[in-house]
Amino acid sequence: MDIETIVNFSLLILLALTVVVLIRMKSLLAIALSSGVYSFLSAGLFVAMDAVDVAFTEAAVGAGITTILLLGTIAITGREQTVSKHKRFLPIAVITITGAALIYGTLDMPLYGDANAPIHTHVAPHYLTQSSEEIGIPNVVTSVLASYRGYDTLGEVAVIFTAAVGVLLLLGKTAKRGRPKQ
């Protein structure tokens, strides 16, 4: 086993352990912080898998902004989780069946790192060989994001705008007028 595989394996195992710990926790503050740890570990995994742009977006946006939003919400709603009894059997049965079906599905997938997988033979070679001529910047991810698939990014901006409007409508001053009286 080479060093790349070992790093990959240990980060994946750490991710799984973080989620196991997170499921068992009761304090919401600790849960929010361990979800930040989970995001940082996945950012590390993205670096190990050559996705550097994804890694720093995940570290800044996933681990940073999401954790801040979670902490802000917890500051409003209180940090202790009310413990309630509920049935465990049904959720475990559901995830076992779904997980087994998905694992059966992976058996048809190309092996990890396979250079001849269908995903690598369609449009990606064009981006890798032509983008420095057509767009003129060395980072292919940026060329695709801002130029070849610029409309996707425009749509993404529309999504952020809609979410921001939604948050402002839900939490802004006008929302107080419609508050139900208890």
Q: Which positions from 23 through 52 interact with another protein, judged by CB under 8 A? A: 23, 28, 31-32, 35, 38-39, 42, 45-46, 49-52
C-alpha distances out from residue 116 to 107, 148, 162, Å: 16, 23, 40
Give yes or no for residue 134 binding another protein (CB under 8 A). no
Report the distance separating Cα 73 and Cα 20, nearest Å. Answer: 23
Sort residue 55 into left (φ over 0), alpha (ψ -120 to 50) or beta.
alpha
The binder of another protein chosen from 3, 7, 10, 69 (CB under 8 A): 69
The binder of another protein chosen from 54, 134, 173, 174 (CB under 8 A): 54
The binder of another protein chosen from 3, 138, 173, 177 (CB under 8 A): 138
The binder of another protein chosen from 86, 134, 173, 174 (CB under 8 A): 86
Shortest distance, CB of residue 36 to another protein, whole angstroms? 10
The binder of another protein chosen from 9, 30, 134, 174 (CB under 8 A): 9
Shortest distance, CB of residue 98 to another protein, whole angstroms? 6
Judged by CB under 8 A, the number of residues near another protein is 96
CB 8 within 8 A of CB 48: yes
Secondary element (H or E) of residue 165: helix 150-171
Give yes or no for residue 124 binding another protein (CB under 8 A). yes
Report the distance separating Cα 26 and Cα 38, nearest Å. Answer: 17
Angle subtended by helix axes 3-24 and 28-48, to nearest 10 = 170
Residue type, 115: A
Shortest distance, CB of residue 117 to another protein, whole angstroms? 7
Residue 138: CB partners within 8 Å, gap ≥ 6?
132
Give yes or no for residue 163 binding another protein (CB under 8 A). yes
Give yes or no for residue 107 binding another protein (CB under 8 A). yes
